[in-house]
Structure 1
Amino acid sequence: MIFSKPKFWHKKNSLISWMLVPISLFLQLLSAIKAKITIQKSFKIPIICVGNIYLGGTGKTPLTITIAKELIKLKRKPAIIKKYYPEHIDEHNLISDSLNCLFLEKERFKAITNAEKKEYDVAILDDGFQDFSIKKDLNILCFNSKQLIGNGMMIPAGPLREEIGAIKRSHIILINGDKNEMFEKKILSISNKVKIFYSKYVPTNINEFKEKKLIAFAGIGNPDNFFSLLEENNLRIEKKIAFPDHYQFNKSDIQKLLNESLANNLDLITTEKDYFRIKKYAIKEIKYIKLKLEIFQKNEFLNQIKNFL
């Protein structure tokens, strides 16, 4: 899905949101019916789901990669499962560049079945919290501290794929960003059994850009988070350009960026995801920020996962 989030998704008491509530309620009803009538498939191997209820930009893929790498250290053989969407090639490449265990199918259960046949011993779903056809052993929900749940309404009135009560189905919550005790209380009021952890992104090549004047561009779920990260690390951003999530850059887009860069004597910087989408054009003038996901209380987080294996 390629789109830009409307601003009213993060405004309380927006008239547009309230006008869209009937559609949200109808979609919520359809989702509830689907969940009730869907027959769940069980598998021989444990199923870990890394999902969200806020649409896009919560860090599912980096967390999926991190968990897979940690399981490999434990002598497990994890398979990363993704539902195939052509426009998500950036995420496919991001995973494949790190690990050789990605299974892509139009239906997730087929990908899991293929992984079982190849003797993988644990499956990690990158997204799939709303896929009721698969019985999961462990549900991890991702949030970003800057957006959290937006206005708290469901699509299209707000950014939520499900109402917040869906937290009851999760075992672990990972919030990327600053600690938020108020949101923690909200989570625990819904489910007092869920474990809450925090993480942050740490740039590993920031020094390459310290002395440069930059044009920053991004086509991700929450581009403002990327721009904020650059500014928090004292990079000099002269211009910010936001594209829709999973935007498929063409030659014309790239040329416009290069022209603006040249005309203003500025360097171009983007996200790793976006870089994988433009890598095919072999443009050496475009660089990207490399990020490492750092999980606080990492050992306890991993112990929680091991408890479900």
Structure 2
Amino acid sequence: MIRPPRFWSDPQARVFPWLLSPLSALVRACAVKRQKKAGWKAPVPVLCCGNLTTGGTGKTTVVLDLVARLKKRSIAVHALTRGYGGSIKTATQVDLTRHSARDVGDEALLLAQVCPTWVGGDRAASARAAVAAGASCLIMDDGFQNPGLHKDISLLVVDGVVGLGNGHVLPAGPLRESPADALARASVVLLIGSDETDFLTQYEGVLPDVARADLQTGLEAQGLKGERCIAFAGLGRPSKFFDGLRQAGVNPVQCLAFPDHYFYKDRDMTHLATLARQADAQLVTTPKDTVRFPLAFRKQLRTVGVGLVWQNDSAPEALLDQLLNQRPA
């Protein structure tokens, strides 16, 4: 994924957004027209966890949290994802013994570690296959803008640090559609982290229900305190990972940022191994990055994940109650 232009994150930017505004108007019109299509209504409850911006907001972390909560309720939950970056385009169940990130994408591999997971651009086809395989509840990782599958509940995830960037629709800004259109369809907005862009104030009056949560660096970081390490990540916002390590008491001697969903090449692995050897340091990265490496190289890595901490733990349970009560699984 190409790094986004700087003006996307600058609300004061004027020139480029103005020049690109005709294209943005076209993108918005296409998005509105697309949403008029009626999606297939599955015979089981469907929750979509999506976002409004390009790049990472923590959707997969949210999905993993909700899957764990549903499994505690003994719900046969299956996950649906496009399989971004993978070569498989038709509805396929992820097989951890056979598929790699190049086949199904990195996020699908993470989801498949905790529940049956299906990839494919046709969400309705994936949903049909999942239901036929025994799913009693479906969670979509992304797909908020995809009308192919009816959603019973749509959870819109917003990164509190970056908010909605400059507020413009692609290509003038990072938004996939206009905030008004998206918020009108959202059941709940989940704001992750502190509201540094005053998102809640800016969109007060048009917001649906709002929940708050924070990302917490995994316990794996505890074993790295006092160790020399080199941190690297290929995420939508790698600095989020680096900052999380520091907040957990881990101070990398070097941090390397790669593009989101980046497939590491042989020269990258050689470079990383050389840096670690020269600095006498441990290589540290994220679960999403780890699954993009060959098994042999993973042995040289320490993986540190993140968990989701809801500010009100009753919020996700109420959300799931609402989901399951609409169409009992």
Report the TM range for the smaller structure's normalisation.
Answer: over 0.9
Q: Distance in 2 between matches of 1:17 and 1:230?
A: 35
Structure 1 length normalisation: TM-score? 0.92
Q: Secondary structure at the match of 1:282?
A: helix
**Which stretch has the larger CA shift, 147-156 or 259-268?**
259-268
Answer yes or no: is the 8 Å Cα contact 2:285–2:303 preserved in 1. yes
1:92-171 correspondence to structure 2 within 5 Å: 92-97=108-113, 99-165=114-180, 166-171=182-187
Structure 2: 5+ residue stretches without partners:
87-101, 325-329
> What's the offset of the Cα at 1:180?
5.8
Q: Secondary structure at the match of 2:205?
A: helix
Q: Distance in 1 between matches of 2:146 and 2:242?
A: 32
Alignment partner, residue 55 of structure 2: 56
> What's the offset of the Cα at 1:201?
2.2
**Which stretch has the larger CA shift, 8-17 or 49-58?**
8-17
Alignment partner, residue 26 of structure 2: 26
What amino acid is aligned across from residue 90 of structure 1 in structure 2? D
* 1:260 aligned residue (247, 265, 275): 275
Residues 60 and 21 of structure 1: is their aligned pair in 2 closer, same or farther, counting only changes over 3 Å? same
Residues 188 and 196 of structure 1: is their aligned pair in 2 closer, same or farther, counting only changes over 3 Å? farther
Answer yes or no: is the 8 Å Cα contact 1:4–1:243 preserved in 2. no
Q: Distance in 1 between matches of 2:209 and 2:204?
A: 7
> What's the offset of the Cα at 1:21?
2.0
Q: Distance in 1 between matches of 2:188 and 2:167?
A: 20
Q: Distance in 1 between matches of 2:314 and 2:320?
A: 10
What amino acid is aligned across from residue 81 of structure 1 in structure 2? L
Q: Secondary structure at the match of 1:278?
A: coil
Q: Secondary structure at the match of 1:221?
A: coil
> What's the offset of the Cα at 1:181?
9.4
Answer yes or no: is the 8 Å Cα contact 1:17–1:157 preserved in 2. yes
Alignment partner, residue 250 of structure 2: 235
Q: Identity over aligned residues, as a percent?
A: 26
Q: Distance in 2 between matches of 1:47 and 1:5?
A: 31
Q: Distance in 1 between matches of 2:139 and 2:300?
A: 35
Alignment partner, residue 224 of structure 2: 209
Structure 2 length normalisation: TM-score? 0.87
> What's the offset of the Cα at 1:233?
2.2
> What's the offset of the Cα at 1:12?
2.4
What amino acid is aligned across from residue 75 of structure 2 in structure 1? R
Structure with bigger helix share is: 1
Structure 1: 5+ residue stretches without partners:
none
Answer yes or no: is the 8 Å Cα contact 2:217–2:248 preserved in 1. no
Q: Secondary structure at the match of 2:223?
A: helix
